[in-house]
Amino acid sequence: MTSVRALLRVGPAVDLSGIDPRSTPGLPGRKVTGDDVKGWAREQLTPLGAELARHQEMLYAAAKASGDKRRLLLVLQAMDCGGKDGTIKKVAGAMNPLGLHIVAFGPPTEEERRHDFLWRIRRALPAAGRVGAFNRSHYEDVLVARVDSLVTERTWKSRYWQINGFEQELVNNGYALVKVMLQISYEEQRARLLERLTDPTKHWKYNPADVDARARWADYQAAYQDALSRCGTDHAPWYVVPGDRKWYRDWAVANLVLETFRDMHLSYPKPDFDLEEERRRLAADRESPLVRA
Ligand code: AMP
Ligand code: MG
């Protein structure tokens, strides 16, 4: 099968307007999926999830058993209603909560604003052996910070290389980064915002400020394009996942994470005790000391 990473990876020349949010790159043809493509993709989440869970367990075990410093960090960025929460639910949700470290970033608190923009990010990093997922990230500091002029142009421009240096440091310290932008269309965002107004169980997700951000759509796309092209590096590439079809989005992100896991060549740690000896000890204590007493 073709690598989903190879298909979705974007380089310095990325043109976001050329990516169709309704497209489904890498999905096998009808011969494999049958006519119900959506149903097929949804079903695949079960075996994909099992594989993700197995890899997560090996990562966790390696850290516990031998002090392996590796970890995986999924960074999700998208416009409002882009599907960040849903993706975390479906993809991270397949793994063991004990080994997960999920963090959502909102506007910086007063304390956070007293530090440099990477301060709160460093504090939220997953420990060795864990799988982290960021719902928004340090990239907000070159996205909303730029579009809303929260800092000067000079400041946000200097952040691209700071981010590249930071991510290089993470990779050098055993992090595998999976940076994903979920790309939805302007029309799909409207539909999802309307859905939030229509369905009383979704009212809580609606934020009037999202419509203000929506009005700056083109500015956000330009900011995303710069972030992706300047910070899409060999050690920490960016992937753009077409996001209008939720079933494709979940399937694609699960594959991106799984392919990254496979590249880590994880395995279950060898025991640091004598298996035969331990078996003998257990065989020898068949009779309970309580019974003997
Ligand atoms: P939500 O993801 O819907 O909970 O919204 C979080 C909000 O926090 C979004 O409007 C983001 O633009 C905002 N946000 C996240 N990070 C930053 C940041 N570094 N500076 C300013 N606003 C931010
Ligand atoms: Mg929101």
Instruction: Output the CA 290–ligand 2 centroid distance in Å.
Output: 60
Largest alpha-carbon pair distance within the chain? Answer: 80
The model scores a pTM over 0.85: yes
Mean pLDDT of 280-291: 80
Mean pLDDT calculated for residue range 235-255: 98
Q: Is 101 helix (H, G, I), strand (E, B) or coil?
A: strand
Q: Is the CB of 160 under 6 A from ligand 1?
A: no
Burial class (CB in 10 A: 0-12, 13-18, 19+), 162: middle
pLDDT at 88 exceeding the cut of 90: yes
For the CA of 189, the nearest ligand = 2
pLDDT above 70 coverage of the chain, percent = 97
Q: What is the pLDDT of residues 54-65, one digit of tens each?
A: 999 999 999 999
Q: Pull the structure tokens for residue 193.
A: 């915002």
Choose one of 103, 121, 136 to mutate for the ligand 1 pocket test, by most ligand atoms within 8 angstroms of C-beta.
136
C-alpha span between 179 and 23 (Å, rounded): 19
User: Does the Cβ of 208 fall within 6 Å of ligand 1?
Assistant: no
Angle at 253 between CA 174 and CA 112, to 5 degrees: 60
Segments in the chain forming alpha helices (H): 4-8, 30-33, 37-66, 84-91, 110-113, 119-123, 144-147, 153-172, 186-198, 208-215, 217-231, 246-263, 275-284, 289-292
- Our answer on whether the CB atom of 107 is closer than 6 Å to any ligand 1 atom is yes
SS3 state at 132: strand
Residues whose Cβ atom is located within 5 A of ion ligand 2: 80, 207
